Amino acid sequence: MLEYRNVHKSFDTEAGSLVVIKDFTASIREGEFVVLLGPSGCGKSTLLRITAGLEPPSRGEVLIDGRAPDLHGRHRLGFVFQEPALMPWRDLVSNVTLGLEIRRIAKAERNRQAVEILRLLGLQGFEKYYPHQVSGGMKHRVAIARAYIVDPIILLMDEPFVALDAQTRESLQRDLQDLWQRRKKTVIFVTHNLEEAILLGTRIVVLGKRPATVQMDYEVRLAMPRDPVSREFVDLRHELRGMLA
């Protein structure tokens, strides 16, 4: 349902042309939780932006259900950026309901859905708070809720948890997994952290140094929810680390 066909991307700068993605081909099925794993600067964010239609590919094509990404409503996408990017003049509910507001859904219905998803993410009681009144972890939860609430056919997440401390990150990973199991979605999750990749992904696509090409495409068969100190988890991590070295 999501296809990348020989996607190339280069940026023209004063210093010359910088090839960021080279011949990226992959096909992603509905309901997969794909983790894109690669060193920083290899072109992961660029690939997500191309997937969302925020940036055109230089060559090749991206097809969502057979059609190119279209920002104007044909495809419902969710994008969680690295920083939560909550609008400081909106309270948490109206941050979450931004996408519904854009789709002109009635206010009562918007709020009903927001309250529900905020509850699923452990934020009940904070609906009327403003972003500056809540913690970093809570802001990230709101950013996830804002993407999830439009019921996207694909959810794109660009290293959403890197800025968080280990404890908050773990709790968000757990909640994301929980949410995903309740409401299955196609997710493309970018990270440079192998442990996070194994914890969340049903499939791990490893990218090499820039320009990004697929180094390895691995199906993760561990049962969910995954326990990072379990035997299988640790074994798999060793195995993958060996293969990546």
Ligand X SMILES: Nc1ncnc2c1ncn2[C@@H]1O[C@H](COP(=O)(O)OP(=O)(O)O)[C@@H](O)[C@H]1O
Count of other CB atoms within 10 angstroms of residue 181? 11
Q: Which residue has the tokens 């691995």?
A: 218
**167 binding ligand X? (CB under 6 A):** no
Q: Min. distance of Cβ 125 from ligand X in angstroms?
A: 35
Q: Which is nearer to other proteins, 4 or 126 (CB)?
A: 126
- Give contact residues for Mg ion (rule: CB under 5 A): 45
Q: How far apart are CA 84 and CA 77, in angstroms?
A: 16
Q: Min. distance of Cβ 191 from other proteins in angstroms?
A: 19
Site string for ligand X, 179-218 (x = CB under 6 A): -------------------------------x--------
* Binding partner selected for residue 13 from ligand X, Mg ion, other proteins, none, CB under the kind-specific 5 to 8 Å limit: ligand X
Q: How far apart are CA 51 and CA 113, in angstroms?
A: 26
Q: Min. distance of Cβ 10 from ligand X in angstroms?
A: 9
Query: Would you say 33 and 203 are in contact if contact means Cβ atoms under 8 Å apart?
Result: yes
Whether residue 211 is preceded by a cis peptide bond, meaning omega within 30 degrees of 0, is: yes
Among 24, 34, 44, 62, binds ligand X (CB under 6 A): 44
Cα 185 to Cα 82, 128, 147, 180, 189: the distances in Å are 20, 28, 11, 7, 12
Binding stretches for ligand X (CB under 6 A): 11, 13, 18, 20, 38, 40-46, 210
